[in-house]
Structure 1
Amino acid sequence: MAMMPRRVKHRKSQRRRIKGNATRGNTVVLGDFGLQSTQAGHITAQTIEAGRIAAQQYVRGIGKLYIRIFPHKSVTARPLETRMGKGKGEPDHWVAVVKPGTVMYELKGVTEQQAKICFARLAHKMPVRCRFVRRRPDLETEPAAS
């Protein structure tokens, strides 16, 4: 089942431009390795689910997969062969807005080689360019010794 919000304030949303780089959600936090987007774009709920299935099939219980994006934005569509006018179409599907630098998926409990193979499978399904990133050791959440 594809993801979608339980309830929204407004059924239909405007498209908007995707400007700038990601300032939030741009570091690996939950896992050891991550898949980071290098392009801006919209990722549908079906694509997110297809990536989850591809990763779960490869990981098979040895590691943990974290999905860091969620489709909050509704995309409307008009029925085929409909004349112009008559207002905006009904919500058709849901998308996640992804900026360059957004970490979309994370893996924990697998080796680096396994993570690279898993994310290569996942990146083939994504409509944006992606790169493999690992957790930065200097950003660990350990208390500083003073």
Structure 2
Amino acid sequence: MLYPKRTKFRKYQRGRCEGCKADGTELCFGKYGIKSCEAGRISYQAIEAARRAISRKFRRNSKIWVRVFADIPITGKPAEVRMGKGKGNTKGWIARVLKGQILFEMDCVSLSNAQQAATLAAHKPGLSIKFFKWS
């Protein structure tokens, strides 16, 4: 499960996911990458599901780098609880993703395999994502 060992605060405010990112838009480790085309939030379950889909496609004969990390807690109150009495308990973790940010990088695989793995992983986060290669 992807979440931090400790954070500065227990609970965060929701915040905004807008604009483009200056850093984290270039490939650093692999030959192929998956980049977000819009800003949004990705849950830790979606990140892990996409990583599993990629690694199963390659049958673990490759290198995969996850460039996003879910470090912001999401709170929720139980069903049928009255209003008030403070903010709810932490129920999950998300990562804020900006437009143009790289989510995953891949190496040691063929181009066709990398494209197929990218299409499998693109269904998981719920954002529009595009595949690209190093030039």
TM-score scaled by structure 2? 0.96
| Alignment match, 1:92 | 91
1:82 equivalent to 2:81? Answer yes
AA matched with 1:73: I
Uncovered stretches (5+) of structure 1, i.e. residues with no partner: 137-146
Matched residue, 1:54 = 53
Unpaired stretches in structure 2, ≥5 consecutive residues:
none
1 CA distance for matches of 2:122 and 2:66?
14
1:115 equivalent in alignment to 2:114? yes
- Residue 120 of structure 1 and its aligned partner are, at CA, apart by 0.4
Question: Distance between the aligned counterparts of 1:23 and 1:72, measured in 2?
Answer: 20
CA distances 1:114-144 after superposition (whole Å, capped 9, x unpaired): 11001000001121000011123xxxxxxxx
**Alpha-carbon distance in structure 2 between the residues aligned to 1:8 and 1:56:** 29
* 2: CA distance, partners of 1:22 / 1:57: 30
CA distance in 2, matches of 1:100, 1:19: 8
* SS at 1:125 equivalent: coil
What is the count of residue pairs matched by the alignment? Answer: 135
2:123 alignment partner, SS class: helix
Identity %: 35
For the residues of structure 1 that align with 2:91 and 2:25, how far apart are their CA atoms?
29
Matched-pair contact (CA < 8 Å) for 1:29–1:135: no
Structure 1 stretches of 4+ moved >3 Å:
none
Q: Report the aligned-residue RMSD.
A: 0.9
Residue 62 of structure 1, CA deviation: 2.2
Cα deviation, 1:21-40, whole Å, max 9, x if unaligned, reads 11121111110000000011
Q: Which residue of 2 aligns with 1:134?
A: 133
CA distance in 2, matches of 1:74, 1:15: 9
Deviation sequence 1:64-122 (CA, Å, 0-9, x none)? 11100000101110111111111111111000110010100010011111110010000
1:61 Cα deviation after fit:
2.7
Once residues 26 and 62 of structure 2 are traced to their aligned partners in structure 1, the CA distance between those partners, rounded to angstroms, is: 19
Match of 1:85, SS state, is: coil
Q: Distance in 1 between matches of 2:125 and 2:118?
A: 10
Asked whether the 8 Å contact 1:31–1:108 carries over to 2, the reply is yes
Q: Which has the larger radius of gyration?
A: 1
1:128 maps to a residue whose letter is L
